[in-house]
Amino acid sequence: MPEIARLLLIQTCRKRSAEKEVPLRQIFGDACRDTRSASGLVAFAEIESSMYKRRRTAMPTLPANPQASDAAISGS
């Protein structure tokens, strides 16, 4: 049971970091308060890099040239 709660906390933190633009530490703190049973099972340092990765992959890539930036703006 503790392993399921731990994985659920990690998944929640990764998902929220991709969706929200708040500091990762705040997302982790909110998720720990929501799932009190798993709050001591995961350290922020353990999942910080994976949260940053999720946030990076959720953001659109930067255009390489001016023509690509025009296409990106008109497509959004």
Reported as a single tens digit per residue, the pLDDT across 58-75 is 987 787 888 877 777 776
Owning domain of residue 41: 2-60
Q: What is the pLDDT of residue 40?
A: 78
Report the distance separating Cα 26 and Cα 35, nearest Å.
Answer: 14
Report which of residues 55 and 75 the model is more confident about: 55
Task: Identify whether 15 is part of a domain.
Answer: yes
Q: What is the pLDDT of residue 66?
A: 81
Per the structure, the count of domains in the chain is 1
Reported as a single tens digit per residue, the pLDDT across 1-53 is 688 888 999 999 999 999 999 999 999 999 988 877 666 788 999 999 999 99
Burial group, residue 35, by CB count within 10 angstroms (0-12, 13-18, 19+): middle
Task: Identify whether 65 is part of a domain.
Answer: no
